[in-house]
Amino acid sequence: MAQEPSIETDRAPAVGELTPPDRTLMGPGPSDVHPRVRRAMSTPLVGHLDPSFVEIMDDVQELLRYTFRTDNEWTIPVSGTGSAAMEAAIGNVVEPGDTMLVPTNGYFGGRMASMARRAGGEVVEVDAPWGEPLDFADVADALAAHDPDVFGFVHAETSTGVRQPDVPELTAAAHDHDALVIADTVTSIGGVELRVDEWDIDVAYAGPQKCLSCPPGASPLTLSDAAMEKVLAREEDPRSWYLDLSLLEGYWGEERAYHHTAPITNVYAIREALRLVAEEGIEERWARHERLAGALKAGVEGMGLEMNAPDEFWLPSLNAVRVPDGVDDGEVCAELLERYDLEIASGLGDLDGDIFRIGCMGYSARPKNVIYVVTALGDVLESLGATVDPGAGVTATRRALSE
């Protein structure tokens, strides 16, 4: 016999007004959201098939093509976080029995492998240490040894602060083996040079919450004609109905037929975020990130810290800084939150406890934020007994910004 609800469980919860702290977000994402994007999210809802929303969908697709540097017809925001775009890419392109070559040099190469296995693919790996990019010769050897159907790589590895160079050479080698190329561009789109068409990338997925400074919820994805042809020619449906691109094609393609209720407010947000990219100019935006992250790099090195990635592979949007001896990284991150309402992050996986991950992305990539994070980090490290020179760090940052 069912129990009668008690007075306690029947009482409405006394939940107060939402008052999240006002943080400065300089971690690996999310980044600070531009005020124009927040205003766009507060505008009235319309239906997901409303003629006005269809026009908004067209705008978003056009702006995404500009930002990805592609003419791909099949360029959309996936309804979900960056991991949804990642799973849409891998889960549709990798068919049961396909072989996918994935990297081992970071946390998100491992996630590629996991998703490929769930899609029924056979995973083979090309090895590189965490904190280093893939070596072209190693990739070429792996392609020759395994002749994969799909090759995946991480353009900007959020877990290590490493940018993958020589992308056109990698894609050319993969195409010589008739492999489609999937690129993780979550931490590069809108902040680091990325040229999908010129570099001959077949599929690129991304997240909106990093260099685009947009709340997560509508995540960029682009597929070449060759990649979409493979998706539409599948003999077996993808394992996810929600992320089945052959069904989403009906909604984001010319037909604009119902598939699911799109996250209207998030689409508003990414439209405004991408509008900001277009207004600034994509190449100017890349240059801004490099300049401001360069000042951040000068500051941390000026106070006596070391970067994790060599200069030639440095990733401006995600700066991996070595934790000094005798300091607990978690304590530093907690103190920055407590004293300064400032977010940075610790390392992941093989680099857990070894690095700080400091973002310089989108709207967060501003001079005042760079000065703030260098000042606050120096203060906290010095107070915890680290051998650093906070004043020298701030001076180096200011000098770099003035140049």
- Per residue in 168-203, pLDDT (tens digit) is 999 999 999 999 999 999 999 999 999 999 999 999
CATH number attached to the domain at 35-280: 3.40.640.10
**Predicted pLDDT at 4:** 62
Q: Which residues pair with 74 in a beta bridge?
A: 223
pLDDT (tens digit, 9 = 90+) per residue, 357-375?
999 999 999 999 999 999 9
Dihedral in degrees, nearest 10, Cα atoms 129, 135, 137, 140: 90
Over range 66-71, report the average pLDDT.
98
pLDDT (tens digit, 9 = 90+) per residue, 6-64?
656 788 999 999 999 999 999 999 999 999 999 999 999 999 999 999 999 999 999 99
User: Is residue 371 within 8 Å of 398, Cβ to Cβ?
Assistant: yes
pLDDT above 80 (res 165): yes
Residue 322: which of 345, 356, 351 has the closest Cα? 356
**Predicted pLDDT at 10:** 81
187: tokens are 């931490």
Over range 239-253, report the average pLDDT.
95
Q: What percent of the chain has pLDDT over 70?
A: 98
Spatial distance between the Cα atoms of 188 and 223, rounded to a whole number of angstroms: 17
E strand segments, 238-387: 318-322, 342-343, 345-346, 355-359
**Predicted pLDDT at 6:** 61
Dihedral in degrees, nearest 10, Cα atoms 264, 266, 267, 270: 160
Q: Where are the domains of the chain?
A: 35-280, 282-401
User: Is residue 205 within 8 Å of 86, Cβ to Cβ?
Assistant: yes
pLDDT above 70 (res 333): yes
Over range 304-317, report the average pLDDT.
96
Mean pLDDT of the chain: 96
Spatial distance between the Cα atoms of 386 and 379, rounded to a whole number of angstroms: 10
Over range 78-104, report the average pLDDT.
98
> Is the pTM higher than 0.75?
yes
Spatial distance between the Cα atoms of 135 and 129, rounded to a whole number of angstroms: 10
pLDDT above 60 (res 1): no
The model's confidence at residue 3, banded by pLDDT at 50, 70 and 90, is low
Q: State whether residue 77 is helix, strand or coil.
A: strand
Do 35-280 and 282-401 come out as alike in CATH topology?
no
Spatial distance between the Cα atoms of 261 and 58, rounded to a whole number of angstroms: 17
Spatial distance between the Cα atoms of 397 and 403, rounded to a whole number of angstroms: 10
CATH number attached to the domain at 282-401: 3.90.1150.10
E strand segments, 132-228: 150-154, 156-157, 162-163, 180-184, 203-205, 217-223
